[in-house]
Amino acid sequence: MISERLGTWARARLLVVGAFLGKFGITPNMLTIAGFLLNCIVAAIIASGRGQLGGVLLLFSSAFDMLDGAVARSTGKTSKFGGFFDSTVDRYSEIVVYVGLLWYLLGTDDWKWGALLVLLSATGAVMVSYARARAEAADWKASVGILARPERVVVLSLGLIIDRPMWALIILAIATNLTALMRMIHVWRESQKDAATP
């Protein structure tokens, strides 16, 4: 995935920012909560009908989400709970943006199709993350597919910025669920390799 390489590149450069924030007593969990609150603001802006502004701010808030990990690594405050908390809140951050978009679409002529596409997109997004989490719990890697969270953010943001949210939702509804399926197939293949190993 493109986001895997970009994520590695960005994380290395964010360590400096993380160390700077850590000097002021800012903890990773504080930033995780702040990121969620930013996404709530983005959702409210989208729900109010200002989708283009919401799309721009969504890119910003999603970039902000990486800071909690940077602070954790640079200050040595990484923990199992921190990783769990960050991943869980990230799912809520993503879903709340979909709720804001759903609220907006309910006031349009496309509200029926819009509601269906939001449901499919949100389900796919959750299943992509769930498939990876379950794979890793079973000691398999499952970072495969076409739409991890960074790609999903970019697709939705661009759809909002060009004022074509339905186009973005069609792509997300298909590609997120396809990614979850690809991860299932990948894990099945890995399990077959393990079964064949004496």
Per-chain mean pLDDT for the chain = 90
Between CA 145 and CA 73 the distance in angstroms is 27
**What tokens were used for 129?**
């993350």
Query: CA 65 → CA 3, 14, 21, 93, distances in Å?
Result: 14, 11, 14, 9
Between CA 32 and CA 13 the distance in angstroms is 19
Between CA 74 and CA 61 the distance in angstroms is 21
pLDDT of residue 198: 65
Cβ burial of 76 (10 Å; 0-12, 13-18, 19+) is exposed
**DSSP class of 80:** H
Question: Are 78 and 90 contacting, i.e. CB atoms less than 8 angstroms apart?
Answer: no
**What tokens were used for 138?**
């079973």
Count of domains observed in the chain:
1
Helix (H) or strand (E) holding 62: helix 51-64
Closest CA to 184 of 119, 112, 148, 130: 130
CATH of the domain at 113: 1.20.120.1760
Between CA 180 and CA 191 the distance in angstroms is 17
Residues 6+ apart with CB under 8 A from 104: 46, 47, 48, 49, 51, 165
Residues 6+ apart with CB under 8 A from 13: none
Between CA 157 and CA 51 the distance in angstroms is 9
pLDDT of residue 106: 97
Mean pLDDT, the chain cut into blocks of 10 residues (198 residues total): 57 69 84 94 98 96 82 84 92 97 96 97 96 93 89 96 97 97 95 82
Residue range(s) defining the domain that contains residue 123: 2-196
Percent of the chain residues past pLDDT 90, beyond the cut: 67
**37-84, pLDDT tens digit by residue?**
999 999 999 999 999 999 999 999 987 778 888 888 888 888 899 889
This prediction's pTM: 0.90
Cα angle 60, 65, 67 (rounded to 5 degrees) comes to 105
pLDDT of residue 196: 80
